[in-house]
Chains A and B, each alone.
Chain A
Amino acid sequence: DAGITQSPRHKVTETGTPVTLRCHQTENHRYMYWYRQDPGHGLRLIHYSYGVKDTDKGEVSDGYSVSRSKTEDFLLTLESATSSQTSVYFCAISQGGGELFFGEGSRLTVL
């Protein structure tokens, strides 16, 4: 199994609070991704990173920011959580155009 750890795995928070999800990998892969999964939408890309401090937006990036200060860590931040950001968040890694591997997901509920 790919060495990908997401934390927290479950979180309940209130509207307007900041939330940070962490993805940690032990594979030394260059590319890291954050997807969200919602019923009827499949998986949609939020942000991705192609190296340390190199990040870019995906198709549903509004309301999210990311940071990657080390190869192994990719953080997703919701500055002010809204109910529409209730979702399951998946981190994924790849070695550049190659096979993508997913973490176990983080379930976020915004009340």
Chain B
Amino acid sequence: GIQVEQSPPDLILQEGANSTLRCNFSDSVNNLQWFHQNPWGQLINLFYIPSGTKQNGRLSATTVATERYSLLYISSSQTTDSGVYFCAGLSNSGYALNFGKGTSLLVTP
């Protein structure tokens, strides 16, 4: 399967700050997703975004498939944004999503 690298591994923000999380892929993908794992361990779907840009409230994501990376933007962060953010990709020859190791985000009051 493809290799997925996420950066930064850890991030601490003050409430109200903006941030950008990055995901690089070793090969082209036809499926790319971003997930948020909350402090209770639930994996929540954020975006299904194999290409292009999507927005959902304070969160948005952009995937540049030709350059093999995706970005997740969090604006005006809130304490409830804390948790681990995972990206995962599926290549044309793959059979299941491969996950990065995640970005652990802590938003402080």
List chain A positions with a Cβ less than 8 A from chain B: 33, 35, 40-45, 48, 50, 56, 58-59, 88, 90, 97-102, 104-105
CB within 8 Å for A42 and B43 given contacts A97-B30, A99-B33: no
Check: B99 CB closer than 8 A to any chain A CB. yes
In the complex, besides A42-B100, A44-B99, 16 extra interface pairs with C-beta distance below 8 angstroms are A42-B86, A42-B99, A43-B88, A43-B99, A48-B95, A48-B96, A56-B95, A88-B41, A97-B31, A98-B48, A99-B33, A100-B45, A101-B45, A102-B35, A102-B43, A104-B42
Check: B90 CB closer than 8 A to any chain A CB. yes
- Return chain A residues, CB-CB under 8 Å to B95: 48, 50, 56
B33-54 CB contacts (< 8 Å) to partner A:
33, 35, 41-43, 45, 48
Decide if A58 touches B96 in the complex (CB within 8 Å). yes
List the A residue with the shortest CB-CB distance to B35. A102
Chain B, interface size: which category?
20 to 34
List chain B positions with a Cβ less than 8 A from chain A: 1, 30-31, 33, 35, 41-43, 45, 48, 86, 88, 90, 95-102
Distance in Å from the Cβ of B63 to the closest Cβ of chain A? Answer: 14
A98 to B32, CA, bound (A): 9
Decide if B31 touches A42 in the complex (CB within 8 Å). no
Distance in Å from the Cβ of A29 to the closest Cβ of chain B? Answer: 13
A99 to B33, CA, bound (A): 8
- Return chain A residues, CB-CB under 8 Å to B99: 35, 42-44
A-B contact pairs, 29 of them (CB 8 A): A35-B99, A40-B101, A41-B101, A42-B86, A42-B99, A42-B101, A42-B102, A43-B88, A45-B96, A45-B97, A45-B98, A48-B96, A56-B95, A58-B96, A90-B43, A97-B30, A98-B48, A99-B31, A99-B45, A99-B48, A100-B33, A100-B97, A101-B45, A102-B42, A102-B43, A104-B41, A105-B41, A105-B42, A105-B43
